[in-house]
Chains A and B, each alone.
Chain A
Amino acid sequence: MLEITLSALIIIGALFTFIGSLGLVRMPDFYTRLHGPTKATTLGVGSLLIASMIYFSTQGQGVSFHEILVTLFLFITAPVSAHLLSKAALHLGVESLSKPPPEVERADADGAGTP
């Protein structure tokens, strides 16, 4: 039973990691590419870390807490780095597939509201 749970967690985590990186390669523009790694990969690594925590806790050397540190750190820092990346891309004017909202286009046409 324990082995089945561990194997399922490991396979799910590896699959999510793979799908996140696949999204990084296959998506059409930068802002959609940002989705794959920052969501799927974090979930995949979280699942792998839970599997590792169960594995080392049942080895008979007491409960293992190292993984909680890695999990907490990854889950706190992933949104921050994604936010900074999107800010940098907006600053550089990276091409997006979707058009800006009409208010922005009107302000651009007037030439008044441009930053």
Chain B
Amino acid sequence: MLSTAILIAFALVSAAIGLTLWRLLTGPDTPDRILALDTLYVNAIALLVLLGMHLSSALYFEAAILIAMMGFVGTVALCKYLLRGDIIE
């Protein structure tokens, strides 16, 4: 039962990543694309957590923590660039 639930969750999260990629490619404005990137890294964390449960390995959390930190820094840097035209003033 648990393995079936994990497989269904894999399908749902992969579909979510597909939808996010569609918005990333066709987004009309720059903030739309940055929002799609932001959602993409959160979805990638969900996929990594699911993979860790599927393989019964706790190693994938280090990768999830790294993606969470780097993704946030990337979003902030891109928004700062849009707001001020520069990242570090």
Contacts and interface: CB of A to CB of B under 8 A. Distances in A.
A77 interface: yes
Nearest to B82: A88
B8 A45 contact: no
For chain A, which range describes its interface: under 10, 10 to 19, 20 to 34, or 35 or more residues? 35 or more
Interface residues of B, number: 48
Contact of B12 (A14, A64, A77): A14
Interface of B is mostly: helix
Contacts of A89: 29, 31
Contact of B79 (A14, A33, A81): A81
Contact of B75 (A18, A25, A44, A81): A81
Contacts of A34: 35
Most A C-beta atoms less than 10 A away, residue of B52, B58, B80: B58
Contacts of A64: 58
Nearest to B61: A66
Contact of B82 (A15, A44, A92): A92
Contact of A70 (B1, B29, B45): B45
A97 interface: no
Given A21-B39, A84-B80, A73 B9 contact: no
A18 B42 CA distance: 12
Contacts of B8: 11, 14
Q: SS class of chain A's interface: helix, strand, loop or mixed?
A: helix
Interface of B: 1-2, 4-6, 8-9, 12-13, 15-17, 19-20, 22-23, 29-32, 34-36, 38-39, 42-43, 45-46, 49-50, 52-53, 56, 58, 61-62, 64-65, 68-69, 72, 75-76, 79-80, 82-83
Interface of A: 3-4, 6-7, 10-11, 13-15, 17-18, 20-22, 24-25, 30, 33-34, 37, 41-42, 44-45, 48-49, 51-52, 55-56, 59, 64, 66-67, 69-70, 73-74, 77-78, 80-81, 84-85, 87-89, 91-92, 94
